[in-house]
Structures are given as C-alpha cells and as structure tokens.
C-alpha cells in the first residue's frame, strides 16, 4: 500500500489493474481524513469568523468583516491586565520550573545517587497526581502563609506541580547526550563546571527549549490554580477572565469573546510551532521506566 | 616525556562479572602496545581504567611512577581516541581541537599555533570551520586523532579507532597511525579486535581472553611461539589447524604422531619442562600445510587427503580437506586446479609444528625466534625516518632503549 | 582461570565474600558526590514544600471536618472514617464516580485512543498535503488553551450553534440535552492529538524489515495491521492507555468552564465535585476526602503503568 501511495493519485501508473483496488482504499483514506479534519476545524472556525464579524452569533457564518472587535478588546483594561497577569504567571513558572528541572535532571541522569530509582518512580507518580487533590491543602497553606492573591506565589505552586514532569522530560533529553562526550572532555582536562557549561549545556538546549515551552503552554492555560489562589481583578489571568466573561451573558459581546480567546491562543500556537521540530522525540514512551 | 604504564594485579568486577582478572602488564615508554582479543575479553575495560573512566576493583595502575588509581581523568595527562570519535557536535573542527588546550589554560596564541600545526599534520587545514556533521567518516577520525595529538600527552589511548571506517580507508589510516607513532613516539595503548591491525601496528601485542592476559610479545614472536591454543587460534588467518596427536620420547629423542604419520621433532625446537609423553594437540598453520607440487624441499612429511571445499581468494586458495578423519585447512597456490573430492598430497615441514598440552592448551614446544632481526630493523627505520622539520624537535626525545622487551608475561 | 570460574558461580553474596577474602576491600565503590546533592536541592525543596507537603496535608485534611468558613474553619477535628461513611451514603458522590468512569472510559480510553490510532494510521498513508493540513489542525486543537476549547465547544453546541444547524434542530441546546456526550466529545476533540502523536512515534519506530517482510509475504493491509503492527505496538498502546487515563481522570477546566457540572449534576465528575464541596459548599475536609479517592484510582493506574512498562523490557 505504502509503495503505491507515494505516487500521485492521478497518473498512468494507477491504471494498471492490480493497483486499482489499492487506489480505492487510498481514496477512502484521504476522504475519511478530510471529514475528520472538518470535525476538528469547524469549532475553531467559529472563533476565527466571529472575531472579524460585525454581528456574530453562536453559529459559523460568513462574516461581514470588521476590526471593531479587535479594537474593542484591545481598548479594555480588564483584557489587557489579564494578558499581563498571564505573562507574569506563565513566565515565572517557566523560569523556575526549567532551571530547577535542569539542575535536578543532570545528577539524576549522570551521577551516582542512592535511591535514584525510587526517586524517579516517586517523580513519575507525582506527575500523575490530580491537581484538584492539591488545591485544598495548598489553599489552606497559602491562607496560613498569607500568600493568597499574588501572581508570584501562585506561579511557585504552578512550578511545583509542573516540576515532576519537567524533570522527567529533561532527564530523557540529557540521557540522550552521549556520555562519551563528557568522558572525552574530562580526558581533555576540562573541569566539571567547564564540561557542564561547554559540552552538556549546549547539547541540552533542545531539551531546555522543549521543557520551557511545554511548561509555558501549560501555565498559560492553567485555570483552577489561579482561579482558587487569586481573587483581585488585577490578578486574574486570561483563562479565569475568559471564564468570567463566558458567565456574564450579555455583558460581553460574542465578537469580543472570540477575539479575546483568539489573541490568547496565538502565543501558545506560535510557541508550539517553534518547539515541534524538537518535540517528536518526547513521545517515545517505549521504555519510559527501566 | 616518555612514560611507561604499569598494571599491577588489576581486577575489574562488574556485579558478578569479572571483566579483568589479575592483570600484570607493563607498557614500555614510547611503545605502541596493542590490546587484542575477542569482544568482551576486557580490553576496552582495561583501556578505560587507564583513562580513569573506570576505577579498578583491586590492584594498582601507574603512569610514569605515579599511582593513578584515584586520579581523575582530567589530571592523568592521557589522550584518548574513542571508537565513536566523541567529537563535540556543536563545535567546529578548530574548537574541537582547541578544547583540551583551552581547558588547560593555554594562551590563545599558543592554541592557534598548535591547532594550525596539528591540522597540517593531519591534512585538516581546510576543514577547520566545519562541524563534525559536515565531515566524512575519515575526516572525523582525523579530527579525533588530532584532538589527542595536539595535547602531547604522556600516553595515547585508542579504542578501536578504525573500526568505523571502510576497508580501504582503514588500511590507509593504519599506515598513517604507524607513521605518526614513529614520528612522535608517545607511549600508546591501542585496543582492537582486529588481528591484522594488531600484527601490523603493534611493537608488542597483548592478547586477552575472558578477562585474562594470555601473552604479551612482539607480533612475530606471538605468531611463531603462541603461548597457548587460544593465542595460536586467535592470531593468524585462516585459523591454525588443531589435530590430536601423541608425544613419545625414547632415549632423549622425542617424536610425535598425528594424522597417521610419525615424525621426530626438529632440532631447533625444544620441549618445555612440563612436556610429558602422551596425548597432545598438534597445531599446524594453513600456510605450513602445502600442496605437494608447490612445496619446498624441507617439507619432508607427506599427508594424503581428500579435498572438501576449495575457496579461491585470487592470490591464493584455501583448501579444506579431510585427512585421517580430521578436517584441515591449507593454503594452495591460486590456480592449482584441484577440485572437491579429489585426492591430494599435502606437504609439511616438521620444524613448523606447534605442540600443546592436550588438557591445558599450553604450549609444550619452544621454537627459535626467527623474526627478531626483522623487528629490530623496523625500529631502526623509525629513528631514521624522523622528519627534519624544526617543530618536531621537541618530540625528538632522548632515545630510550626502544628494543621491545622479550620478557614473556604469560599468565 | 580457576578462581574466575569459582567466582563466577555461586550467589552474589558468596562472590563478594570470596573476593573480599582474597583481595581485601573493593577500591571502586561508587562515591557519593556532594555536588549532586547541591544540584538536586532546589528542586527537592520546592517539591517537598509545595508538593509532598500538600499531599501529606491532604491525607490529614481528608479525615477531618475542616470547613472553609464558620466555626469549623478554626475548630476542626479528626473525624476518622466519618467522611468515608458519608461518601458511601452520598448519592452525588456515587453518581459523580459513575460519571467519572463514563468520562474516562468513553472519552479517553475508547474515544481518544481509537481515534488517535485511526488518525495515526490514516495520516501515515495519506497524500502529503492532506496529511500536513489535517495533522496540523488536530495538533492545534490540542495546543489551544483549555478555556478556549471550552468556549468554542460551548458556542458549537448552543441552540443556534453550528452543531444544531448541522443536525437540523436549531432550537436544541445540545449542552443541555446531552451534556455528558458533549463534554466528552469536546475533551476527545482536544486530547486526541496526544494519542495520535504517541502512536505516530510508535509506528515510526517499528522495525521496517518486519513490515516489509509481511508485505512481501502478501498479507493484506488489514491482516498486516491486525497480526503484525498492532501486536508490535502493544507496549505503546498500553503506555498510551494508562497515560491518557491518568491525565483525563483529573480533567477539570474544560468541563467546569462549559457546564459548572450541570445541568443539575449531570456533568459533575469527581474533580468538579471536589471543587464544589470544598469551595462552594465550604466542606474542605469532605472535598479533600473525595480527592483522595481520585488519587487512589490514579495510583492504581500508575502502578499498572510501571508494571506494564517493566514487563515490556
């Protein structure tokens, strides 16, 4: 089948009798895919069309174009402040998580540490824990510490909850750097610090990028944690703001809502595209735990 | 500085596997020593212990006169060429070569000068700005070599450096490595599983099997006087024939019977003290077992055999034949015309026989070393071949006694 | 030779004793490097304080009658298994557990995995432009923030929304009519890319010689998938199922933003019930106890995951 698919669907070669049956299945493959593609595209299209429609409603329709929705949203103080909040929240989370994940993953990948295996299993288990379990105790802790309603303390908890998976991801990337390079550098006379800075770090850049972007995308979309841990309007990040708007029927126009969520989605899509060329390796879960 | 390397009672144990057992070996200053053996014999572990990448479980390792067991690789002043080359993929050739010198705090001027010199020696001058991924296999190999050369270390360590090259390039690099060693004469330990590399490059060869040192000797000695059946079978291609025989001695005259014939032992060879009458294993190298019409006058023994398989190699042919119930391989001239199931006469020089104890496999026949003169000549050549360029002055060391030690270290 | 033979046989303990007896203590014991502790410290401290701490705290709160406001917010006490007995008699909890299982099995295990596998196989065999476009659209759906997905599926399923037009009942609000189906579909729509990527990677890593051998032997496409490819992918499938289960068990944002658990309690899965008990009904103790049940389910699957991946090696 694959040998045939490599050829164009039209063309003399497909007339050859033995191929006819296979080409039918090839057509079916592509048609089914297009239908599935529509299923995924339609809900998204509403957002795009409604954002430039002067009179949108819940249905997808050909828009009568306007940029009023965009100027509307960009003129709203609450919308802009939620972008600022999201940026602080996701940025702080990303920096803390990435730095700590890198620092933790290197010794876990390379050094002799007692109970390393148990530690990695604990981390794996931790990354599977539901956040909803932690929300109540963390809320209680934050009340006690007086940390409620601060973007930075909220980011700290987001960092803690994303750290287990980040360590695991980063460790896989560091494991993939041939240890022989470090041996070669050691024999070359380099100090441990120099080896880390000049050999390990440059070769881990893809892993650092993937971990950082992955963490950022998750923190950018985080809802329940800021929803519970912050309350003043200035500290509401995008997701919480959109949720509030969705609940306040009539106060917020369809078009504005579409523009807001569209603008809010753009950064993560761009970041994902940036990351995707490194990312395929992250999905090889074959021998995740040995 | 020429440094000798000593292993004293070194063991390396991984879990319950003994990778290296009781290794006692001295690498002479300026010597090119090849560690050879089948995979898993402990040769790479030995090299890694010397580099400091593994620590020995027991015993002592000395470089020069310094005990290095607990010295980290960084401070051992050794350079290593890895089988995978281990070039830094994110640095260009220049930075790869310069890394070690910079790590040791050399000035930029000195680094630039030495990179230039090294690149010139290895023909890498036009590639300095390339990344390893933009180089061919042979070029990468040269960079790996250059990274070791530039440092002028006390000891070179090479872990199967040629195994990733194709056959033609391997032959070329083999010669080049020998040339470089003759030029700089840095103590070198070279690990390979390839007996051809071992024979052509080593001043001496150390044969390892199952973690144990079998024999250390000059290539010719190793070939002519293998210490045991393992060495005899491992060195030489096609493999030495082993057939059962009986040793008998009467009135001080020893004779051996095998493949249906009996012959007195030659006058040059002498039996070791441990030799006793009884069952022995007789070793015959295929090139000593000749086609009668092609054999010389000293091949006084004649064997009758039936040809089983003929493998033409171009310049010669390997003939596997059945002789008195045993399968033996022999080397024929290229166009002998013999065919399968044909009866042939094979000729054998009794002076070329090897005898081994049937139980232990240890040799019981000491033969005169025929090739000593040959070895000495090649060392002499090395001295006169030193190029007269100025920069090589500092490599021209006070001549240490270079004649390879003949002392055997058979365990 | 004799010694190595002797050493090589027998138990590891005998081996160590034999070696120690002849040669003394080992010189190559692994050395603990203090620098590793230094590097691990910051991450470990953060995890201890804001992860392990809350987990242990949750284990305690779950067995108390702690409340968000009122006297019980200060004078709460350890109540033993009271929360557990309350759960067993709690109609909402039982319904919520049932909805959670329905959601995880329907949307994640069946929907996401089957559609993910189908997409991975179809994309592998599709022509390049269709592969590129459809693949990207599916992945964009996954990358979109959850709140955006909630919004566009909310719009999609409203009366007068695109779905109602497609089905010809413009006055039907499907989010009210079949709420669980809609949130499951929305969840499937968002998360299927994850399974698709996992399976695509799995398919890519299959040994091509085996596939070619099957092709040369004349096996039909379906036989090839059923008899050769799917068995080879078994480890990937097991891993995917367990990861997807764990991830979906704690799904909160999407459902909550679309329905707040309603209408009634029709979409109140366990994570939403936890939130409502804790922050709407102010029963922090009882809410946490419910979250512990969720953790138990997750732990069960985590252990399965570890065992499954071990048996693959």
pLDDT in tens, C170-200: 777 888 889 999 999 999 999 999 999 889 8
Task: Verify that B22 and B170 share a domain, yes or no.
Answer: yes
Which of B224, B254, B276 corresponds to the end of one domain? Answer: B224
Q: What is the pLDDT of residue B374?
A: 41
User: Which pLDDT does position B1 carry in this prediction?
Assistant: 60
Q: Best mutation site among B22, B45, B55 for testing chain C: the one with the most C CBs within 10 Å? A: B55
The residue written with tokens 């499937």 in the block is: C188
Residue ending a domain, choose from A66, A93, A116: A66
pLDDT above 80: residue B27: yes
Residue (of B31, B29, B61) closest to B45 by Cα position: B61
Model confidence band, residue B255 (pLDDT cutoffs 50, 70, 90): confident
Q: What are phi and psi of B327, to 5 degrees?
A: -95, 125
Res. A16: pLDDT tops 70: no
pLDDT band at A8 (very low <50, low <70, confident <90, very high): very low
A174 CB within 8 Å of a chain C CB: no
Domain identity same for A226 and A201: yes
Cβ atoms C74, C276 nearer than 8 A? no
Structural domains of chain B, count: 2
Would you say residue A290 lies in a domain? no
What domain count does chain A have? 2
CA distance B42 to B19: 5
**Does C6 map to a domain?**
no
d(C-alpha A253, C-alpha A58), whole Å: 11
Please give the pLDDT value at position C147: 92
Residue A61 lies in a domain: yes
- Examine the domain organization and report whether A56 and A98 are in the same domain: no
Portion of chain A with pLDDT greater than 90, in percent: 32
B72 vs A17, which has greater pLDDT?
B72
Rounded Cα–Cα distance for residues A211 and B266 (Å)? 76
Query: Does residue B24 sit within a domain?
Result: yes
Whether the CB-CB separation of A207 and A173 falls below 8 Å is answered with: yes
Q: State the pLDDT at residue B393.
A: 36
* pLDDT at B144 (0 to 100): 92
A165 and A85 together in one domain: yes
* Helix %, strand %, coil % of chain C (to 5): 75, 0, 20
A contact chains, 3+ CB pairs < 8 A? B, C
Instruction: Please report whether residue B410 resides in a domain.
Output: no
Report, as an integer, the average pLDDT of B255-277. 80
Are A33 and A78 in a shared domain? Answer: no
Q: What is the mean pLDDT of residues A50-75?
A: 81
Give the pLDDT of residue C4. Answer: 42
Band the pLDDT of A124: cuts 50, 70, 90: confident
Evaluate whether residue B380 is within a structural domain. Answer: no
Are β-strands B365-366 and B354-357 bridged in parallel, bridged antiparallel, or unpaired?
A: unpaired
Final residue before a domain boundary, out of B192, B224, B256: B224
* pLDDT over 60 (residue A4): no
Q: Which of B35, B78, B72 is nearest to B52 (CA)?
A: B72
Look at residue C226 and tell me if it is in a domain.
yes
Orientation angle between helical segments C230-249 and C113-125, nearest 10 degrees: 130
Do A17 and A41 reside in the same domain of the chain?
Answer: yes
Look at residue C96 in the predicted model and tell me its pLDDT: 92
Question: Which of C27, C29, C31, C35 is the best mutation test for B, with the most CBs of B within 10 A?
Answer: C27
A288 lies in a domain? no
Mean pLDDT lowest among B186-200, B349-363, C6-20, C262-276: C6-20
Chain B residues with CB under 8 Å of A184 CB are 80, 82, 86, 88, 147
- B64, B153: one domain: yes
Please name the residue that has the structure tokens 């024939």: B241
Q: Are B231 and B214 in contact (CB under 8 A)?
A: yes
Provide the pLDDT confidence category of residue B306 given band limits of 50, 70 and 90: very high
Considering the domain architecture, whether residues A127 and A193 belong to the same structural domain is answered as yes
Task: Note the pLDDT tens digit of each residue in C229-261.
Answer: 888 888 888 888 888 888 888 899 999 999 888
pLDDT at position B406 over 80: no
In percent, the amount of chain C with pLDDT more than 90 equals 21
CB B351 within 8 Å of CB B269: yes
Subunits next to C (3 or more Cβ pairs <8 Å) are A, B
In tens, the pLDDT along A79-117 reads 889 999 999 999 999 999 999 999 999 988 888 888 888
Is the pLDDT confidence value at B377 over 90? Answer: no
Location of structure tokens 């899509």: A269
- Show which of B165, B198, B224 is a domain's final residue: B224
**Residue B387 — very low, low, confident or very high, per pLDDT cuts 50/70/90?**
very low
Using the predicted structure, report yes or no on whether residue B395 has a pLDDT greater than 70.
no
Instruction: Report helix, strand or coil for B54.
Output: coil
Angle at C308 between CA C306 and CA C312, to 5 degrees: 115
Place of tokens 């419910």: C290
pLDDT single digits (tens) C19-65:
556 677 777 777 777 778 888 899 999 988 888 889 898 888 888 88
Say whether both B130 and B254 belong to one domain.
no
Q: Are C292 and C304 in contact (CB under 8 A)?
A: no
- A23, A40, A66 — which closes off a domain? A66
φ and ψ of B56, to 5 deg: -65, 145
Q: What is the pLDDT of residue B337?
A: 83
Distance from CA of C296 to the nearest CA of B (A): 37
In this structure, are B43 and B151 located in the same domain?
yes
B vs C, Cβ pairs < 8 A, gives 37
Band (A69; pLDDT cuts 50, 70, 90): confident
pLDDT score recorded for residue B381 = 37
pLDDT score of B402: 35
CA distances C136 to A37, B197, B302, C108, C193, Å, are 9, 53, 80, 21, 9
Query: Does residue B192 or residue C172 have the better pLDDT?
Result: B192
Structural contact between residues B199 and B235, judged by C-beta atoms closer than 8 angstroms? yes
The whole domain housing C297 covers 82-312
Domain containing residue B196: 5-224
Say whether pLDDT at C137 is over 80.
Answer: yes
State mean pLDDT over B358-385: 58
Average pLDDT over residues B88-106: 91
Q: C14: pLDDT confidence band, cut at 50, 70 and 90?
A: low
Q: What would the two tokens of residue C213 be? A: 């051998």
Set of chain A residues whose Cβ sits within 8 Å of the Cβ of C40:
103-104, 107-108, 113
- Beta strands (DSSP E) in B44-182 are 58-63, 66-67, 78-81, 155-159
Mean pLDDT of the region B263-268: 77
Q: Is the pLDDT at B212 greater than 80, yes or no?
A: yes
B5/C1 Cα distance (integer angstroms): 25
Residue A175: give the domain boundaries: 71-283
Q: Clarify whether residues A173 and A124 are in a common domain.
A: yes
Question: In this model, does residue B405 exceed pLDDT 60?
Answer: no
Q: Are residues B197 and B89 in the same domain?
A: yes
Q: What is the mean pLDDT of residues B231-252?
A: 88
Antiparallel, parallel or unpaired: β B187-192 and B155-159: parallel
Strand B155-159 relative to strand B78-81, pairing: parallel
Query: Is residue B91 over pLDDT 80?
Result: yes
**Would the pLDDT of B376 be above 50?**
no
Q: Which of A56, A136, A211, A256 to mutate to test the interface with C (most CBs of C within 10 A)?
A: A136
Residues B206 and B247 in one domain: no
**Does B267 lie in the same domain as B126?**
no
Residue B372: is its pLDDT beyond 50?
no
Identify whether residues A13 and A133 lie together within a single domain: no
Instruction: Establish if B373 belongs to a structural domain.
Output: no
| B137 pLDDT tier (thresholds 50, 70, 90) | confident
Looking at the structure, do residues A93 and A60 belong to the same domain, yes or no? Answer: no
Same domain, B244 and B141: no
d(CA C188, CA C141): 10
- Average pLDDT over every residue of B298-307: 90
Mark whether B189 and B277 lie in a shared domain. Answer: no
pLDDT for C254: 92
CATH number for the domain harbouring residue C223: 1.10.3720.10
Distance CA(A91)–CA(A103), nearest Å, equals 18
Same domain, A115 and A54: no
- Pick the closest to residue B146 from B189, B175, B176, B172 (CA basis): B176
pLDDT tens column, C302-312: 677 667 666 64
- What pLDDT is recorded for position B299? 86
- Written as six digits, the tokens of C144 are 């979109």
Does A158 touch chain B if contact means CB atoms closer than 8 Å?
Answer: no
For residue A238, tell me if it sits in a domain.
yes
Q: What are the backbone angles phi and psi of residue C233, rounded to the nearest 5°? A: -85, 0
Is C115 among the domain residues? yes
Kindly report which listed range (A191-195, B67-71, B127-131, C222-226) carries the lowest average pLDDT score. C222-226
> What is the average per-residue pLDDT within C59-82?
80
φ, ψ for residue A15, nearest 5 deg: -75, -25
Whose structure tokens read 């082993």?
A: B242
Is omega for the bond preceding C136 within 30 degrees of 0, making it cis? no
Say whether pLDDT at A270 is over 70: yes
**pLDDT score for A176:** 86
Does C189 reside within a domain?
Answer: yes
Residues of C in contact with A40 (CB under 8 A): 134, 137-138, 141, 189
A289 lies in some domain: no
CA triplet B124, B128, B131: central angle to 5 degrees? 110
- Arithmetic mean of pLDDT, A172-186: 90
Residue A16 and residue A157 share a domain: no
Do A62 and A116 lie in one domain? The reply is no
| CATH number of the domain where residue B94 is located | 3.40.50.300
Chain B residues within 8 A of A189 when measuring between CB atoms:
74-75, 100, 103-104, 151
Mean pLDDT of B330-359: 89
* Domain final residue pick, A43, A66, A89: A66
Contacts of C73 in chain A (CB under 8 A): none
Residues B147-165: tens digit of each pLDDT: 988 888 899 999 998 888 8
- Same domain for B101 and B185? yes
Give me the numbers of helices (H) and strands (E) for chain A, helices first please: 13, 0
pTM for this prediction: 0.80
Number of domains composing chain C:
1
How far from A93 is each of B196, C45, C114, CA to CA, in Å? 59, 16, 34
B40 and B158 share a domain? yes
Mean pLDDT computed over every residue of chain B: 84
Q: What is the CATH number of the domain that holds B346?
A: 2.40.50.140
**Is B116 within the bounds of a domain?**
yes
Q: What angle do CA C241, C242, C243 make, to 5 degrees?
A: 95
Q: Which helix (H) or strand (E) holds A96?
A: helix A77-110
């Amino acid at each position: 089948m694959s040998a045939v698919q490599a050829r164009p669907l039209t063309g003399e070669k497909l007339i050859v009798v033995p191929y006819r049956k296979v080409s039918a299945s090839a057509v079916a493959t592509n048609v089914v895919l297009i239908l599935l593609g529509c299923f995924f595209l339609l809900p998204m299209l509403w957002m795009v069309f409604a954002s430039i429609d002067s009179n949108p409603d819940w249905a997808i329709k050909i828009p009568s174009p306007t940029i009023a929705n965009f100027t509307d949203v960009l003129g709203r103080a609450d919308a802009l402040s939620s972008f600022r909040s999201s940026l602080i929240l996701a940025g702080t989370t990303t920096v803390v998580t990435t730095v700590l994940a890198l620092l933790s993953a290197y010794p876990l990948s390379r050094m002799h540490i007692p109970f390393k295996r148990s530690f990695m299993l604990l981390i794996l288990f931790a990354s599977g824990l539901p956040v909803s379990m932690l929300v109540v105790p963390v809320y209680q802790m934050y009340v006690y510490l007086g940390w409620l309603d601060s973007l930075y303390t909220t980011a700290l908890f987001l960092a803690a909850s994303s750290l287990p998976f980040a360590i695991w991801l980063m460790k896989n990337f560091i494991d993939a750097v041939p240890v022989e390079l470090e041996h070669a550098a050691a024999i070359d006379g380099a100090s441990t610090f120099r080896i880390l800075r000049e050999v390990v770090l440059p070769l881990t850049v893809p892993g650092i990028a993937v971990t950082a972007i992955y963490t950022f995308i998750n923190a950018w979309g985080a809802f329940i944690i800021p929803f519970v841990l912050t309350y003043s309007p200035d500290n509401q990040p995008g997701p919480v703001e959109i949720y509030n708007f969705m609940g306040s029927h009539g106060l917020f126009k369809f078009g504005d809502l579409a523009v807001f969520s569209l603008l809010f989605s753009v950064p993560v899509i761009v970041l994902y595209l940036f990351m995707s060329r490194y990312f395929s390796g992250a999905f090889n879960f074959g021998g995740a735990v040995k | 500085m020429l440094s000798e390397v000593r292993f004293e009672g070194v063991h390396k144990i991984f879990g319950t596997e003994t990778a290296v057992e009781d290794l006692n070996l001295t690498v002479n200053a300026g010597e090119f020593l090849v560690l050879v053996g089948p995979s898993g014999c402990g040769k790479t572990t030995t090299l890694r212990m010397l580099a400091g990448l593994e620590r020995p479980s027991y015993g002592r390792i000395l470089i020069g006169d310094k005990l290095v067991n607990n010295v980290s690789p960084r401070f051992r002043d050794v350079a290593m060429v890895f089988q995978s080359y281990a070039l830094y993929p994110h640095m260009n050739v220049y930075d790869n070569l310069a890394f070690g010198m910079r790590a040791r705090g050399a000035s930029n001027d000195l680094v630039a000068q030495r990179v230039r010199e090294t690149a010139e020696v290895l023909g890498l001058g036009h590639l300095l700005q390339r990344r390893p991924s933009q180089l061919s296999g042979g070029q990468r190999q040269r960079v790996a070599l250059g990274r070791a050369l530039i440092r002028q270390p006390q000891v070179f360590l090479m872990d199967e450096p040629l195994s990733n090259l194709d056959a033609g390039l391997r032959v070329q690099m083999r010669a080049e490595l020998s040339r470089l060693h003759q030029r700089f004469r840095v103590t070198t330990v070279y690990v390979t599983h390839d007996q051809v590399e071992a024979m052509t490059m080593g001043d001496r060869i150390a044969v390892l099997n199952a973690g144990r040192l079998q024999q250390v000797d000059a290539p010719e000695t190793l070939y002519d006087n293998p210490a045991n059946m393992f060495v005899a079978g491992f060195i030489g291609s096609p493999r030495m024939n082993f057939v059962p025989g009986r040793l008998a001695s009467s009135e001080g005259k020893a004779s051996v019977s095998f493949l249906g014939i009996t012959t007195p032992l030659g006058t040059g060879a002498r039996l070791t003290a441990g030799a006793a009458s009884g069952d022995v294993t007789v070793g015959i190298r295929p090139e000593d077992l000749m086609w009668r019409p092609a054999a010389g006058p000293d091949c006084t023994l004649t064997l009758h055999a039936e040809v089983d398989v003929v493998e033409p190699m171009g310049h010669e042919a390997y003939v596997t034949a059945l002789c008195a119930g045993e399968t033996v391989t022999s080397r024929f001239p290229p166009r002998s015309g013999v065919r399968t199931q044909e009866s042939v006469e094979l000729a054998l020089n009794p002076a070329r026989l090897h005898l081994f104890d049937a139980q232990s496999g240890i040799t019981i026949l000491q033969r005169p070393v025929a090739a000593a003169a040959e070895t000495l000549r090649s060392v002499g050549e090395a001295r006169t071949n030193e190029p007269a360029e100025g920069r090589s002055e500092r490599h021209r060391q006070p001549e240490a006694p270079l004649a390879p030690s003949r002392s055997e270290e058979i365990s | 030779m004799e010694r190595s033979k002797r050493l090589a046989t027998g138990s590891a303990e005998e081996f160590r004793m034999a070696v120690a007896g002849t040669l003394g203590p080992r010189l190559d014991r692994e050395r603990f490097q203090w620098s590793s502790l230094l590097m691990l410290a910051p991450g470990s401290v953060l995890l201890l304080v804001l992860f392990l701490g809350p987990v242990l705290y949750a284990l305690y709160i779950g067995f108390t009658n702690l409340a968000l406001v009122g006297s019980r917010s200060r004078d709460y006490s350890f109540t033993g298994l009271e929360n557990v007995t309350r759960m067993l008699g709690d109609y909402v909890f039982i319904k919520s557990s049932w909805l959670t299982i329905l959601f995880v099995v329907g949307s994640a295990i069946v929907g996401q995995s089957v559609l993910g596998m189908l997409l991975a196989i179809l994309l592998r065999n599709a022509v390049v432009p269709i592969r590129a476009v459809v693949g990207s659209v599916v992945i964009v759906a996954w990358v979109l923030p959850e709140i955006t997905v909630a919004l566009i599926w909310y719009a999609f399923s409203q009366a007068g929304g695109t779905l109602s037009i497609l089905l010809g009942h413009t006055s039907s609000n499907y989010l009210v009519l079949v709420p669980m189906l809609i949130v499951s579909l929305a969840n499937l729509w968002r998360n299927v890319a994850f399974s698709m990527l996992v399976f695509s990677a799995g398919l890519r890593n299959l040994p091509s010689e085996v596939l070619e051998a099957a092709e040369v032997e004349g096996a039909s496409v379906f036989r090839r998938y059923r008899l050769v490819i799917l068995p080879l992918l078994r480890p990937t499938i097991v891993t995917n199922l367990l990861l997807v289960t764990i991830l979906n068990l704690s799904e909160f944002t999407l459902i909550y933003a679309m329905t707040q658990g309603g209408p009634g309690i029709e979409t109140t899965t366990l994570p939403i019930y936890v939130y409502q008990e804790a922050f709407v009904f102010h029963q922090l103790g009882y809410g946490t106890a419910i979250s512990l049940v969720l953790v138990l389910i997750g732990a069960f699957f985590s252990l399965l995951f570890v065992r499954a991946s071990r048996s693959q090696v």
